[in-house]
Amino acid sequence: MGHARSYAARHGHLAVPRSANHHGYRLGTWLAHQRKRAANGRLPHHRAEALDVLDSWWNPSWGLPWQITYHAVRNDIHGHALNAAAGFPGLPPAATRWLLTQCTNYDDLHPGQQELLTGLGITPQDAHAARPQQETRTRRRTGASRSRPTTVSSSIDGGLPYARSYAHTHGGLGTAHYTTEHDGFPLGWWLYEQRKRAVAHLRRTGLPWPHDTQLTALDRWWNPPWRVSWNHSYHQAHTHHTAGRPFPGTTTKWIRTQQQAWNQLHPRQQHLMTIIGIHGPTPLCRYTTRAGTSPSQRTISRS
């Protein structure tokens, strides 16, 4: 308790990592033991009260990692005015990403967490108005470049609400390109990051990515076994097909390419092609759809 008092007097809290020492004493281990005893109902009442006096959140029900990060962010924002609607400009990127994630998931936070955020100056109104900054930095790749946000959380929790909203509006996630934004959130970039993590996890462990079910519930083919760009081309063809509009030249060329590679397509890809009237690799077709005609009335010339 003496070391706990000393640490709290210096830092203002007891969010101490398990591995932390204080003046040569393993304070993190001691506090972890007190939390375990509290969970089992074996912590003496007088000791719990003494720890509450030092830090009322010394044993948070939402877990210590969140509490540790909260205090680190609190130090980062000391002296800064917070502007949630502008994406918390002027803060270190890690602090900005964490704050945006908390705002995105604000309604799901514990009341105690919401109270702590209020202590930082983030009201419920601020949390609901929070939007990521628009500034990006360029990450160069071989022969190409892509911009990626620097102030947006790529965590599953940070983007899942936007993915749900997009899937509800568009019937899935297949139309989201890398540059797609939804409600100010870079959803296309976020999906790209989740696909990378899913592939890396599978290669590393041989097991499905733990969060795959959350995105599969929104779109069964959010991370297809073929290139995602195929989905974008398909959706363009499907849009023209259902609307009875002539296919652009690039779409016609793409359809013919799919016919030529028919036997290499995934069964799901073949099924999707049948929806727009392509039922096999031959004969190759020249499509002369005209605006105003239904899919069943379109002219398909053999070539």
Res. 279 pLDDT band, cuts 50 70 90: confident
Q: How many CB atoms lie within 10 A of CB 86?
A: 14
What pLDDT score does 218 carry? 94
Q: Specify the long-range contacts of residues 2-9, CB closer than 8 Å, at least 24 apart.
A: 3/27, 3/30, 4/30, 4/31, 4/51, 4/54, 5/54, 8/54, 8/55
The H or E element spanning position 125 is helix 124-129
Report the distance separating Cα 275 and Cα 140, nearest Å: 38
Report the distance separating Cα 179 and Cα 150, nearest Å: 14
Check pLDDT > 90 for residue 154.
Answer: no
Average of per-residue pLDDT across 136-142: 46
**Mean pLDDT over each residue of the chain, to the nearest integer:** 85
Percent of the chain with pLDDT over 70: 86
What pLDDT score does 147 carry? 61
Q: How many CB atoms lie within 10 A of CB 154?
A: 18
Check pLDDT > 50 for residue 295.
Answer: no
Average of per-residue pLDDT across 202-225: 91
> 28-37, 51-60, 100-109, 163-172: which has the minimum mean pLDDT?
100-109
The residue ranking higher by pLDDT, 206 or 140, is 206
What pLDDT score does 134 carry? 57
What pLDDT score does 42 carry? 95
What pLDDT score does 145 carry? 53
Average of per-residue pLDDT across 205-217: 92
